[in-house]
């Protein structure tokens, strides 16, 4: 029998892969790939206060993660938190406006490979679990973020 954590990781990997194939991307003014937010996702994430808590937890975890923390060594955590909060808020259908760099420009010189990207997703899942975000809502947010892998992964 498969361990529940392994099964969970496989389900999420499948959801991300499928969302990358099925998503109908649109482009924002910044050039970031965006998809239409599922109805109610912003509310399910706890609106701006909930998203802020999630991003705080996520960034605190990601900068300490031994697999990918080095990618954030020159990043100011407060600025990253603010940018990600706006991005997650906008993607989930909230009133925020993400005005940061497009994903391709932001990650161009970071030498990110598929393993790094997957580690980031795992850290985000852990933060969402810790914040009590239900699995279905986690998948809805991940489906919006998944198409960005094409611009974030710079090392094939």
C-beta of residue 112 within 8 angstroms of C-beta of residue 154 = yes
Q: Which residues contact 23 (CB under 8 A, 6 or more apart)?
A: 35, 143, 146, 147
* Domain range summary for the chain, segments of one domain joined by +: 41-152
Which pLDDT does position 27 carry in this prediction?
A: 36
Residue found by looking up tokens 């933060």 in the block? 127
| Mean pLDDT by groups of 10 residues along the chain of 156 residues | 47 41 36 64 96 96 91 87 93 90 63 80 95 94 82 68
Give kind and range of the element (H or E) at residue 33. strand 33-34
Question: CA 35, 75, 85, 114 torsion: positive or negative?
Answer: positive
CATH superfamily of 41-152: Globins (1.10.490.10)
pTM: 0.74
């Amino acid at each position: 029998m498969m361990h529940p954590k392994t099964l969970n990781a496989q389900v999420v990997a499948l959801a991300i892969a499928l969302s990358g194939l099925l998503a109908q991307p649109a482009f924002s003014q910044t050039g970031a790939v965006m998809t239409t937010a599922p109805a109610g996702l912003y509310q399910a994430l706890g609106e701006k206060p909930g998203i802020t808590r999630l991003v705080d937890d996520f960034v605190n975890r990601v900068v300490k993660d031994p697999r990918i923390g080095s990618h954030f060594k020159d990043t100011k955590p407060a600025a990253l938190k603010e940018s990600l909060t706006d991005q997650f808020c906008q993607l989930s259908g909230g009133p925020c406006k993400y005005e940061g760099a497009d994903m391709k420009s932001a990650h161009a010189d970071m030498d990110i490979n598929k393993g790094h990207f997957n580690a980031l997703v795992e850290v985000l899942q852990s933060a969402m679990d810790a914040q009590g975000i239900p699995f279905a809502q986690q998948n809805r947010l991940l489906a919006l973020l998944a198409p960005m892998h094409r611009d974030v992964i710079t090392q094939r």
